[in-house]
Amino acid sequence: MKKPKKKMARKMKKAEKKYSKKVITVAKKIAKSKNEKIAAAKPVQAAPAQEKTPRCIVLAGFGLNAEAELADAFTRAGADVDIVHFSDIASRAKRLSNYQIFAIPGGWSFGDDIAGGRVLANKLKNSFRADFEEFVTSGKPVLGICNGFQTLVKLGALPNLSGNSEQEATLYFNKSGRFEDRWIYLKPQKSVCRYFEGVEFVHCPVRHGEGQFVANEKVLDELEKCGMVALKYVDEKMGEANYPDNPNGSARSIAGICDRTGKILGLMPHPECSVRRETFPRFTSGVSSEKNSLRFFENIVNEGRKHA
């Protein structure tokens, strides 16, 4: 009696396995059919093009001494950066046309013996002005910080309201009569410069003796009217800045300006020194805003990417 029971159990088990296989096979066919229908309904999309990395040239030499900080900021923002000595550009050992971003850092070119940035601007005019003008005409980003800002103003590249590259403003001795080295707040203005999109404010240091932006009232009015004032000094609450929040006494608290295209930007403060959390004075208390400064450089890099 036991043997027939075992035989029957084996037959039932075999039948169950066979049935399970059929169920699984049918399920697979249904799933395959559904996937084929979904795939057919979806439009075929091309693989996304790989983003090109823009090349940034950071000027060095003759007393410029903040090139490493500026190069670090652009590297963090996604650019491929070369620190290049002025003489290598002048001799054409390095060509500006091979780069998509040109940046002049801070420092004391030629010791600021005559005026901040004056000698460097004259040397640039006599060495590679044509290459610089070609770079500018192409619409590639140009950035000048501190001594670099002074150079662009003395060169006539900023603000260049006339379009003739004539000097229309200057950066003069601080009203305090002393070198200013402190952390300040900057508020982006409604301007033609797009490098501050998504940047609510910038908290970074200044370190200069000649940072007072000076121009006649007509020029100042034109800058405001044309949206060429990119940055203003403000206090910690984003209100009107007086000394020391406006560290140099700049007219109308102007900290940075751009040209009519918004592609050339100059500013006295150093946002490249505030892309790392650890550099902020109160970072141990959790107070820092490195994302704002980094976003600024990322915007410039994204603009440079259009020309890569």
Q: Residue 262 — very low, low, confident or very high, per pLDDT cuts 50/70/90? A: very high
For the ranges 77-81, 110-114, 170-174, 177-181, the lowest mean pLDDT is seen at: 110-114
Across the range 150-167, mean pLDDT stands at 97
pLDDT exceeds cutoff 90 at 58: yes
Q: Are 194 and 299 in contact (CB under 8 A)?
A: yes
The pLDDT of residue 5: 56
Q: Residue 8 — very low, low, confident or very high, per pLDDT cuts 50/70/90? A: low
Q: Which CATH number fits domain 55-305: 1.20.1260.10, 1.10.3720.10, 3.30.465.10, 3.40.50.880?
A: 3.40.50.880
Q: Residue 51 — very low, low, confident or very high, per pLDDT cuts 50/70/90? A: confident
pLDDT exceeds cutoff 90 at 152: yes
Distance CA 292, CA 245 (A): 19
| Mean of pLDDT over the chain | 90
pLDDT exceeds cutoff 50 at 94: yes
What is the chain's alpha carbon radius of gyration, rounded to the nearest angstrom? Answer: 30
Across the range 224-232, mean pLDDT stands at 98
Give the pLDDT confidence of 265-285 residue by residue, as tens digits. Answer: 999 999 999 999 999 999 999
Residues noted as catalytic: 146, 270, 272
Q: What is the pTM of this model?
A: 0.84
